[in-house]
Amino acid sequence: MGVDWTALEEALRVAALRHAAEVIDGHPEQTFYAVSLHGVSTEESDSIAMPLLALNSLQALARDRNTEQREQFVERGEDLDDPDDYEDRADAELVEGLSSDVASPDDEEAVEDEDDDEDLDQVLASIEADLDENDSESFYSDKWEPSDWHWSSIDLCEDPAAGIWSDAMTELASREGWEPTIKRYYQTLVAVAHSLRDELNARTSEDLVTYVADEDHAERLLQLCLSPEQLAKHFPQLGDLIDEH
């Protein structure tokens, strides 16, 4: 049994367009910026899987990042409810009978050490913020990792159709080799990505970044899926890497 690549491309295109349009139209207040096909590994295995569809919006990205940050605060035992300028009440119980406006030399030393610690903490926090800001737009950040997105794993084909396509490609790979089969499969996925961008852009205010995601061939796939203008706008840091290929 062979694989009708034209029929597979059309089946994936129609299913991906339907699911993506439902999500986008169902959230008109959100700005969607990316759509991806992912979940297909190029490493040889017992079977060839069908791709998953993923979408994300700028609003969902910000909300998920904020949730993750709050969870990190909680894990570190930090109190999120106290405002930054929170102070103890003026009539709080004094320790060991010391007046609140009298400090011992030891106390003064402790205050100086504490100030030094605070200064260091502020410097480190500033450095961390700068790094986070730079990394937050990187291709290797959660902004462009489909598995981290709010809509991350939408099945395009349900059984038995998914099983039939998967079995057909796996059987072809066993006869003609894994590499040529998976290469032809990825050509199909790239073609679907192009179609999705053209058809979904009419529904969004942003020029959608629509691509096939795979860890081993990330830069090359971006080059195949995106326009030169999109590459320059969103991934300028990958320019040299892509040119080398």
pLDDT(12) > 80: yes
- pLDDT tens-digit series, residues 42-59: 999 999 999 999 999 999
- pLDDT tens-digit series, residues 72-126: 656 666 555 544 443 443 443 433 443 444 455 565 555 555 555 566 666 555 5
200 contacts: CB under 8 Å, gap ≥ 6: 17, 20, 21, 24, 35, 208, 210
Burial 93-112 (b: 16+ CB within 10 A, else e): eeeeeeeeeeeeeeeeeeee
Question: How many whole angstroms separate alpha carbon 172 and alpha carbon 193?
Answer: 23
Q: Which residue has the higher pLDDT, 90 or 39?
A: 39
Question: How many whole angstroms separate alpha carbon 93 and alpha carbon 44?
Answer: 68
What pLDDT, on a 0 to 100 scale, did the predictor assign at position 236? Answer: 87
Q: What's the burial of 187, exposed, middle or buried (CB within 10 Å: 0-12/13-18/19+)?
A: middle
What pLDDT, on a 0 to 100 scale, did the predictor assign at position 3? Answer: 95
- Decide: 193 and 211 in contact? Cβ < 8 Å: yes
Question: How many whole angstroms separate alpha carbon 99 and alpha carbon 105?
Answer: 14
> What global pTM score does this model have?
0.72
Q: Which of 73, 12, 60 is nearest to 40 (CA)?
A: 12
Strand, coil or helix: 110: helix
Confidence of residue 15 (pLDDT cuts 50, 70, 90): very high
pLDDT(243) > 70: no
